[in-house]
Amino acid sequence: MKIIIVGDGKVGQALTRQLSKEGHDLTVVDSNPKILNNNIENLDILTVEGNGASMETLRRADAGTADLVIAATSTDEINLLCCITAKKLGAQHTIARVRNTEYSEQLVALRQELGLSMTINPEYAAAREIYQILQLPNFVKRETFAKGRVEIVELRVDEKSPLRDIALYRLPETVGLNVLVAAVLREDQVTIPSGNFTLQEGDHVFFAAKTNQLSLLLKNLGISIQRVRHVMIIGGGRIARHLIPRLLDAKVKVKVLEKNHEHCLRLYSEFPQISVIEADGSLQQVLISEGLEQTDAIITLTNMDEENLIISMFANHCGVKKIITKIGRLEYGGLFMDMGIGSIISPKERCSADIVRYVRAMKNAEGSEIVALYHIANDLAEAMEFRVDESVRYLGVPLKDIPLRENVLIACVTHGNEPVLANGNTRYYEGDSIVVVSAGQHMISHLNDIYAE
């Protein structure tokens, strides 16, 4: 497909990298020639220098013949104007990054008039993800499927874990309930395991389980369930302002360390129930004096990856039970994953995954609907949910008789409102939804892409 990306910041670069890998015809528009030149050197794309909201620049980018225009500059108004102009020129679909929640009502009411196919808000998505992790903080990561009834959760196997040195065919007797290991990350290699696969210390295991059984999973593994009652947030920007209302509704006490005076005043004005400290949260003595060692969880949300990593590692050294680290560049996450930085969130990667899901759905407009797409296992695997339609092959055939591609697993099938973790006898029919995990190089946009034939 022909796709134009306007704005080559963090979200734009993540999209360019992913969509280029999937073979789309990409044009990137930005007013900064240095950024564009860097993209030319690393990726097979076209670039156009100029203001992406101007009709002249969009004409030079040939937006009138584009299947999709994605506006991801740092300014909401420019993104909206870009989408309106691109649609006027003839672009089929448009997506805008809109971060200001004050526009939410207008976007709902005027979406058709604005010509918008979709809007994205990286900070809002990140806040939602953080809150979900804090609800069951023992898990490193949680991704939701089947309308919230099934999740793929990540656990690390440590030296005391009952999962250590366990072959997966023995998992039911170890765990004591029906779960499925969908993937295992070991030393930067991801595996879709068979029953003979043996877990080792240091593995990151991705379980598919029913949401209402996650607490029981932890209990049966001998993991005491953590309760988060006090949270320390380092950095009082947009993500924090989206997250704080959720925490307050859950009766969690919140302390924010922010060194910008104006940000502190705004936070205290909006949320007088929380503690706002004007201080540099990257300083160890400040963290200790503000009660780091007594907090249940710390969330590092500064604008510098390096700063977030260092603060998180220091918090781990101080014994903080739950650590969440915001990272813009996921290559850092893989490097430091086992060095005490806890759960990693990447706003740009989350939004990139949402847009990639939409692009694949566009490409497959006449086929099975892709409902959700998440990158898991340090971005080395994908977990996807599809709606089954009449075009999907092997309807009613037991999974044990279906030839799947290598490194592809069907994790869950939902009949109506009842999800079933897959086994060899599970079948699917038109109208069902299916959760698929793939660690291969093949792009999956339709359920028929998972078959070996």
Within this chain, do residues 107 and 175 fall inside the same structural domain, yes or no? no
pLDDT at residue 175 tops 70? yes
pLDDT band at 35 (very low <50, low <70, confident <90, very high): confident
User: Residue 45 falls within a domain, yes or no?
Assistant: yes
Residue closest to 296 by CA, chosen among 273, 277, 320: 320
Distance CA 71, CA 371 (A): 23
Give residue 336's pLDDT: 66
Distance CA 28, CA 407 (A): 33
In tens, the pLDDT along 403-441 reads 999 999 999 999 988 999 999 999 999 999 999 999 977
331: its two tokens: 């290559």
In tens, the pLDDT along 222-232 reads 998 889 999 99
- The DSSP symbol for 179 reads -
Distance CA 349, CA 347 (A): 6
Give me the phi and psi of 329, to 5 degrees please: -110, 105
Distance CA 5, CA 27 (A): 6
Helix (H, G, I), strand (E, B) or coil at 253: strand
Within this chain, do residues 150 and 59 fall inside the same structural domain, yes or no? no
In tens, the pLDDT along 330-359 reads 665 566 666 778 999 999 888 888 898 888
CATH number of the domain bearing residue 95: 3.40.50.720
Residue-number span of the structural domain to which 417 is assigned: 358-450
User: Residue 306 falls within a domain, yes or no?
Assistant: yes
In tens, the pLDDT along 89-126 reads 999 999 999 988 887 778 777 777 777 888 999 999 99
Give the pLDDT mean for 38-57: 86
Which sign, positive or negative, has the C-alpha torsion 251, 255, 261, 263?
negative
Within this chain, do residues 159 and 256 fall inside the same structural domain, yes or no? no
Burial of 421 (0-12, 13-18, 19+ CB in 10 A): buried
User: Residue 231 falls within a domain, yes or no?
Assistant: no
CATH number of the domain bearing residue 444: 3.30.70.1450
Residue closest to 134 by CA, chosen among 225, 234, 257: 225
Give residue 243's pLDDT: 97
Within this chain, do residues 114 and 15 fall inside the same structural domain, yes or no? yes
Q: pTM of the prediction?
A: 0.89
Q: Which of 220, 239, 258 is the last residue of a domain?
A: 220
Distance CA 16, CA 41 (A): 13
Within this chain, do residues 84 and 134 fall inside the same structural domain, yes or no? no
Within this chain, do residues 94 and 11 fall inside the same structural domain, yes or no? yes
Within this chain, do residues 26 and 115 fall inside the same structural domain, yes or no? yes
Give me the phi and psi of 405, to 5 degrees please: -60, 160
User: Residue 38 falls within a domain, yes or no?
Assistant: yes
255 within 8 A of 281, measured Cβ to Cβ: no
Which sign, positive or negative, has the C-alpha torsion 311, 316, 320, 322?
positive
Mean pLDDT of the chain: 91
User: Residue 47 falls within a domain, yes or no?
Assistant: yes
User: Residue 232 falls within a domain, yes or no?
Assistant: no
- The tally of domains found in the chain comes to 4
